[in-house]
């Protein structure tokens, strides 16, 4: 039996119990042994003036319990000034909802916002009830690993990047001291070889494509546009006589809303561009066909506006509304099958990927030029689109040998 510590006893007259009060140098009562309960007690003074009495079978256990209580109160005190509905135990779900509505909604396109919402729903199924300040790196790592194990390493990488953004905001708001998502390694995403079409294959594809969609297909496979940019095009953006176009918006699908107009995916995409002769010819034919169909309609097409401007869209469905990407995709696959190409490997984005690959493989343009042509903000993105370098390595080698090989007469004499 341990020796009872000495000190002043304060007796509770109603119960007969007592506490021994001795002040330590740091202002906290010393631990004492309570014979009536056969436990050690480590009293501590709370911020509100009340006394806590954690217990333990040994003095060390009681002191450890007291230290945990003190640390918890100090941590909770950091969140006292929080406002706007936040509190010490704000959960990841609560933060996610606030961030989507107050931050992401004003920074990204509607379709991107919708993707963020779906991705955070996946995370919150596992971690949504965890207070943000208590979130641990291993918890985040577990979710990311499970998503990657399910066969989607790229999705796991994107969700990890999204959590970095979200928890950066948590640090800014004072909800967390550290961004634990930054401590989680991004999964390795294996490079997948994707199908591209040669210029000759593109010509065959375009030649048999449905006339309702062939101009949109040319914008993807000849101009290197995203299909969203083609579907957001209006006749006001085109100067068919000059052979130019202004790319000012895109049309994409948002869950629960439908097709919506918005800004181009990147600012570098926007601006005035020249049209290839084939694209120009197909757009002119599409214009004539659209005017003829519009004249045959009894009921006028619905009005479509964006940023206060009434638009005459180039590509519309039979009802005159925004056309779905799936319609263009289906037309591409049908044309591919007609010319003997595997339709399962070809879609709307095959066009952009083919344009990048063919331009770079030609050896006449470097990646910066190609990125400028397709409107990529980052050259590394363009590099990811290159599926084959064609004869480029051999051309580079011949040029290098002409410079470096002493046996080659570079002067031609």
Q: Is residue 209 part of a domain?
A: yes
Give me the tens of pLDDT residue by residue for the chain, a chain 413 residues long: 445 445 555 566 666 655 555 444 445 678 999 888 899 999 988 877 788 899 999 999 999 999 888 888 777 666 656 666 788 889 999 999 999 999 999 888 888 898 999 999 999 999 999 999 999 999 999 999 999 999 889 999 999 999 999 999 999 988 898 999 999 999 998 888 899 999 999 999 999 999 999 999 999 999 999 999 999 999 999 999 999 999 999 998 887 788 889 888 877 676 788 999 999 999 999 999 998 888 777 677 788 899 999 999 999 988 888 999 999 999 999 999 999 999 999 999 999 999 999 999 988 888 999 999 988 888 888 898 888 888 888 888 888 888 888 776 655 55
Give this prediction's pTM: 0.70
Q: Is residue 392 part of a domain?
A: no
Based on the domain organization, do 31 and 69 belong to the same domain?
yes
Based on the domain organization, do 363 and 272 belong to the same domain?
yes
Based on the domain organization, do 119 and 64 belong to the same domain?
no
Q: Is 18 helix (H, G, I), strand (E, B) or coil?
A: strand
pLDDT 10s digits, 26-78? 456 789 998 888 999 999 888 777 888 999 999 999 999 998 888 887 776 66
Q: How far, in Å, CA of 258 to CA of 104, rounded? A: 19
Based on the domain organization, do 297 and 152 belong to the same domain?
no
Q: CB of 141 within 8 A of CB of 126?
A: no
The CATH number for 102's domain is 1.10.150.130
pLDDT score of 14: 63
Based on the domain organization, do 365 and 272 belong to the same domain?
yes
Full residue range of the structural domain in which residue 274 is found: 199-385
pLDDT score of 23: 44
Q: Is 39 helix (H, G, I), strand (E, B) or coil?
A: strand
Q: How far, in Å, CA of 198 to CA of 390, rounded? A: 11
Based on the domain organization, do 229 and 367 belong to the same domain?
yes
Q: Is residue 24 part of a domain?
A: yes
Angle at 320 between CA 315 and CA 325, to 5 degrees: 45
Q: How far, in Å, CA of 334 to CA of 328, rounded? A: 10
Q: Is residue 315 part of a domain?
A: yes
Domain end marker among 183, 213, 230: 183
pLDDT score of 12: 60
**Tally of structural domains, the chain:** 3
The CATH number for 291's domain is 1.10.443.10
Query: Which of 77, 74, 82, 76 is closest to 172 using CA atoms?
Result: 82
Based on the domain organization, do 56 and 101 belong to the same domain?
no
Sign of the Cα torsion 330, 336, 342, 347 reads negative
Based on the domain organization, do 155 and 304 belong to the same domain?
no
Based on the domain organization, do 236 and 113 belong to the same domain?
no
Angle at 166 between CA 123 and CA 185, to 5 degrees: 70
Domain end marker among 23, 44, 77: 77
Q: Is residue 190 part of a domain?
A: no
Q: Is residue 407 part of a domain?
A: no
Beta bridge partner(s), residue 34:
39
Q: Is residue 58 part of a domain?
A: yes
pLDDT score of 24: 46
Based on the domain organization, do 138 and 40 belong to the same domain?
no
Query: Which of 287, 282, 321 is closest to 301 using CA atoms?
Result: 321
Based on the domain organization, do 240 and 115 belong to the same domain?
no
DSSP structural state of residue 313: B
pLDDT score of 184: 96
Q: CB of 79 within 8 A of CB of 131?
A: no
Q: Is residue 368 part of a domain?
A: yes
Based on the domain organization, do 14 and 123 belong to the same domain?
no
């Amino acid at each position: 039996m341990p020796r009872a510590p000495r000190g002043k006893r304060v007796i509770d007259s109603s119960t007969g119990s007592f506490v021994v009060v001795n002040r330590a140098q740091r202002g906290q009562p010393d631990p004492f042994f309570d014979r009536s309960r056969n436990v050690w007690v480590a009293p501590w003074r709370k911020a509100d003036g009340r006394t806590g009495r954690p217990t333990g079978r040994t003095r060390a256990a009681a002191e450890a319990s007291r230290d945990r209580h003190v640390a918890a109160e100090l941590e909770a005190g950091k969140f006292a000034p929080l406002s706007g509905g936040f509190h010490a135990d704000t959960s990841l779900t609560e933060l996610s909802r606030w961030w989507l509505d107050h931050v992401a909604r004003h920074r990204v396109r509607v379709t991107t916002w919708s993707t963020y919402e779906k991705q955070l729903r996946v995370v919150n199924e596992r971690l949504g009830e965890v207070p943000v300040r208590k979130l641990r790196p291993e918890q985040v790592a577990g979710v990311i690993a499970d998503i990657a194990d399910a066969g989607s390493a790229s999705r796991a990488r994107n969700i990890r990047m999204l959590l970095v953004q979200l928890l950066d905001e948590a640090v800014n708001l004072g909800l967390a001291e550290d961004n634990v998502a930054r401590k989680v390694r991004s999964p390795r995403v294996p490079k997948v070889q994707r199908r591209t079409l040669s210029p000759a294959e593109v010509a065959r594809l375009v030649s048999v494509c449905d006339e309702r969609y062939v101009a949109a297909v040319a914008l993807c496979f000849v101009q290197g546009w995203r299909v969203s940019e083609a579907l957001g095009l209006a006749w006001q953006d085109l100067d068919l006589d000059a052979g130019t176009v202004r790319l000012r918006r895109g049309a994409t699908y948002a869950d629960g809303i439908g097709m919506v107009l918005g800004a181009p995916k990147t600012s570098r995409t926007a601006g005035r561009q020249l049209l290839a002769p084939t694209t120009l010819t197909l757009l002119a034919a599409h214009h004539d066909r659209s005017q003829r169909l519009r004249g045959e309609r009894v009921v006028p097409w619905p009005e479509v506006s964006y940023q206060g401007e009434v638009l005459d869209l180039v590509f519309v469905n039979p009802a005159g509304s925004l056309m779905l990407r799936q319609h263009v995709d289906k037309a591409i696959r049908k044309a591919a099958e007609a010319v003997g190409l595997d339709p399962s490997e070809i879609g709307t984005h095959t066009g952009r990927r083919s344009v990048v690959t063919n331009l770079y493989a030609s050896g006449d343009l470097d990646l910066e030029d190609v990125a400028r042509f397709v409107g990529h903000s980052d050259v590394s993105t363009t590099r990811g689109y290159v599926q084959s370098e064609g004869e480029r390595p051999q051309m580079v080698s011949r040029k290098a040998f002409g410079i470096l090989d002493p046996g080659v007469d570079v002067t031609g004499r």
